[in-house]
């Protein structure tokens, strides 16, 4: 069979595509496919900022089914929480909350901030201190707080509302904190049975720890302590912070340097330190108390 006849046969069967007239088969090139148009990816719209909830319908007055305490605080459970412990009056709590005046004006809320607030129950209004102790984790209540348990009828701070207030409070979490340190009864002056040194330092062993080793002036010690002015004001305490303190004995006030060397590990003592062995009558450091001071010190370790 001749070549032209064979090509004609293949073309007839659909197995051969003949080139267009005037072009050799080898010169035929497919036209390039145009690249698709790429559109810029638009960012998703920002999520709407959370807003504080509107004032409840019963904001003006506690309803008849609200529970009332002896102090005048009223409350109602909005959502039950998990069974568990309640925070104490000195604990650190984490809460979501919104507050309204009795006229329905929102004056504060953690909701728009997007995260709960954390604070000590000793640092808030009495109505909060009492009310939040009633909650367990996950629980949410509404509280009607009389002005006497809030900021009062005429607040001294210009940024807080007067009169009765209403709060929705949800307890997210809480942390147990150490109990407050009790002011000694003899804080004003050393009692007659206290021992006195030549320098004027007075001290009394409150508890013997059974240790025998005493620290030297150049040693570093670990202690728990609380310090008061003679009028009973607590000005510093490692106990309330929940963590002992370490320091070199030659780096503290003279009354400490002398007094702690009289102690053995495990001992707890009270020291009445005259002003000349403390920070002086006119301390150079701002924030340090002047005059005589009283310290309870527990020696935990010598290093």
H runs (alpha helix) in the chain: 3-13, 126-132, 238-241, 254-260
* Catalytic residue check, 253: yes
Contact 98, 111 (CB under 8 A): yes
Q: Which CATH architecture has domain 195-302?
A: Roll (3.10)
* Catalytic residue check, 203: no
Question: Distances in Å between the alpha carbon of 239 and those of 73, 149, 160, 186, 217?
Answer: 32, 29, 33, 19, 24
Lowest mean pLDDT among 31-35, 200-204, 299-303: 31-35
Query: How high is the pLDDT of residue 27?
Result: 52
Average pLDDT of the chain?
Answer: 89
CB within 8 Å of 60: residues ≥ 6 apart: 102, 103, 104
| pLDDT tens, position by position, 173-223 | 999 988 889 999 999 999 999 999 999 999 999 999 988 899 999 999 999
Question: Which tops the pLDDT comparison, 51 or 205?
Answer: 205
Catalytic residue, from 97, 143, 271, 279: name it: 279
Is it the case that residue 23 has pLDDT exceeding 70? no
* Catalytic residue check, 91: no
| pLDDT tens, position by position, 114-156 | 999 999 999 999 999 999 999 999 999 999 999 999 999 999 8
pLDDT grade, residue 284 (50/70/90)? confident
* Catalytic residue check, 271: no
Catalytic residue, from 6, 23, 235, 247: name it: 235
Is it the case that residue 17 has pLDDT exceeding 90? no
Catalytic residue, from 108, 186, 219, 236: name it: 236
CATH class of 67-175: alpha beta
Catalytic residue, from 91, 169, 295, 296: name it: 295
What average pLDDT score do residues 248-265 get?
97
Name the CA dihedral angle for 108, 112, 118, 123, rounded to a multiple of 10 degrees: -10
Annotated domain spans of the chain: 67-175, 195-302
Nearest to 233 by CA among 300, 180, 161: 180
Is it the case that residue 82 has pLDDT exceeding 90? no
Contact 255, 293 (CB under 8 A): yes
CA gap 204, 190 in Å, rounded: 9
* Catalytic residue check, 279: yes
Catalytic residue, from 169, 225, 273, 297: name it: 225
* Catalytic residue check, 225: yes
């Amino acid at each position: 069979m001749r070549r032209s006849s064979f090509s004609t046969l293949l073309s007839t069967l659909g197995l051969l595509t003949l080139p267009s007239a005037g072009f050799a088969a080898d010169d035929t090139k497919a036209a390039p496919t145009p690249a698709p148009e790429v559109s810029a990816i638009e960012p998703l719209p920002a999520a709407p900022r959370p807003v504080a909830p509107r004032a409840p319908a019963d904001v003006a007055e506690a309803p008849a089914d609200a529970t009332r305490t002896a102090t005048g605080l009223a409350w109602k459970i909005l959502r039950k929480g998990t069974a568990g412990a309640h925070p104490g009056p000195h604990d650190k709590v984490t809460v979501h909350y919104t507050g309204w005046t009795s006229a329905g004006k929102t004056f504060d809320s953690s909701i728009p901030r997007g995260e709960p607030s954390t604070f000590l129950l000793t640092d808030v209004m009495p109505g909060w201190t009492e009310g939040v102790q009633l909650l367990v984790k996950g629980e949410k209540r509404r509280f009607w707080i009389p002005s006497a348990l809030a900021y009062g009828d005429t607040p001294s701070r210009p940024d807080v509302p007067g009169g009765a207030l209403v709060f929705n409070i949800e307890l997210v979490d809480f942390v147990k904190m150490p109990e407050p340190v009790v002011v000694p009864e003899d804080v004003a002056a050393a009692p007659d049975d206290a021992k006195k040194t030549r320098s004027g330092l007075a001290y009394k062993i409150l508890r013997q720890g059974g240790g025998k080793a005493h620290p030297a002036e150049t040693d570093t010690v670990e202690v728990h302590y609380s310090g008061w002015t003679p009028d009973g004001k607590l000005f510093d305490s490692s106990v309330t912070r929940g963590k002992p303190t370490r320091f070199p004995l030659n780096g503290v006030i003279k009354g400490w340097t002398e007094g702690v060397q009289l102690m053995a590990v495990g001992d707890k003592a009270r020291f009445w330190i005259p002003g000349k062995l403390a920070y002086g009558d006119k301390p150079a450091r701002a924030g340090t108390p002047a005059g005589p001071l009283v310290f309870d010190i527990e020696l935990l370790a010598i290093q």
